[in-house]
Amino acid sequence: MLRVTPFLLRYTNMEPTEFRTDVIRPIECAKEAWALIKPNYWLVFAMCLLGIWLSGVTLDFLLGSMVCGIFYALLKVVDGKMPEFSDLWKGLAFFIPGAIVTLFIAVPILIVYAIIYGPIFYAVYLNPSMSDKEFAALLTSGLLLDSIVLVGMVCFHTLLLFAFPLIVDRGLGPMAAILTSAKAVWSNLSGVSRLIFVQFVISFVGFAMVCFGIYLVIPLIFASNAVAYRKVFPAMNIPNLNPPPPNAYSGL
């Protein structure tokens, strides 16, 4: 399998899991994200679109890898480096941790929806002659419960906002990335919540653009998450391991 050392992992006295608080300004994050990706927008757009497509055709088998690859490229941009389309495939090096985080996202959804809608389908199976009124009452109760659960799922998934970039950037394992992300998001809950709202507005504008516009704003949403992540988890300086030039001590 392709092996990639986390290119942003820095070695100083700062621990990889340390993070800042009260540093996320949603509007500024969105503006900074747009300014950063604008020169290479179509490259980032192509990576996001291909990553989403590959995730879909593989039934989310490659979702974690593709998200890691997208963040690999975007964190390079945030840190002043040039992205490359091949960065998307770098996410394959994080296949296992990315897949485990994806399971933490997908499995609860499947379980909850099975609990909500399973009894409805079972009731219809047991009573195929159920009246339209009875079926409507069952479906309405399911939809109401679904709405409540949806809020809970959004809150849960928000806690995992930084899990994928932590895998790429800090080289954390899946459980460490999940727990660290949850702690960092909880400690920055106000800023993250407002960022999610700003992204919701951006997504709504995208949907309003004949629906296809949602694909055009996905790079901005990913990039704003990358910018927010870097504010919470600042880059750590690489030590200068190069030897001094021969004339460095000529004055001594």
Per-residue pLDDT of 226-251, as tens digits, reads 999 999 999 875 444 444 556 654 55
Structure tokens at 245: 């030039």
pTM > 0.85: no
- pLDDT of 102 over the 50 cut: yes
Q: How many Å apart are CA 132 and CA 130, to the nearest integer?
A: 7
Q: Considering the chain, what is the average pLDDT of its residues? A: 85
Instruction: Name which residue leads in pLDDT, 227 or 119.
Output: 227
pLDDT of amino acid 175: 94
pLDDT digits 0-9 by tens, 67-81: 999 999 999 999 999
Give the whole-angstrom CA distance, residue 37 versus residue 217: 12
Domain boundaries, the chain: 26-232
**pLDDT of 251:** 52
138 within 8 A of 90, measured Cβ to Cβ: no
